[in-house]
Structure 1
Amino acid sequence: MNGFTILRGMQHYVGKVRTMRNEIRTQRFLNTLPADIRKDIGWPDMYAERRIRGN
């Protein structure tokens, strides 16, 4: 196993962590919106369906 393989694995891991943090930040922001606006954009219904499908 050379250094490039290790580096690629670390970059992949850091990318996944960054994606998870961005999703959590987005969820928190959307949850602070008024209920009528959340309903208009389909939150959390759209997100729940996405999680069930595994996207």
Structure 2
Amino acid sequence: MNQLTILHSVKRYIGKVRTLRNEIRTERLLNSLPAEVRMDIGWPDLHEGWQQRHK
């Protein structure tokens, strides 16, 4: 493997980790909202079965 391939792989991995962290942060933020607001925006109804996926 040359250095460019390794660097590309590391950048892609870091991008995936960053995306995952952003998704978790967003989910926490949405879950911290009052129930009435979550119901108005359709959270978690938009993600049927999200609790089973996150156990």
TM-score interval, normalised by the smaller of the two chains: 0.7 to 0.9
- Given residue 42 of structure 2, which amino acid in structure 1 is its aligned partner? G
Question: TM-score, normalised to structure 2's length?
Answer: 0.82
Distance 1:40 1:7 in 2: 44
Matched, 1:36 2:50: no
Report runs of 4+ in structure 1 exceeding 6 Å deviation: none
Aligned residues: percent identity? 63
Amino acid in the other structure paired with 1:15: G
3-state secondary structure, aligned to 1:15: helix
Gaps of 5+ in 2: 51-55
Aligned-residue RMSD, C-alpha: 1.2
Q: How many residues align?
A: 49
Q: Secondary structure at the match of 2:5?
A: helix
Q: TM-score, normalised by structure 1?
A: 0.82
Structure 1 unaligned regions, length at least 5 = none
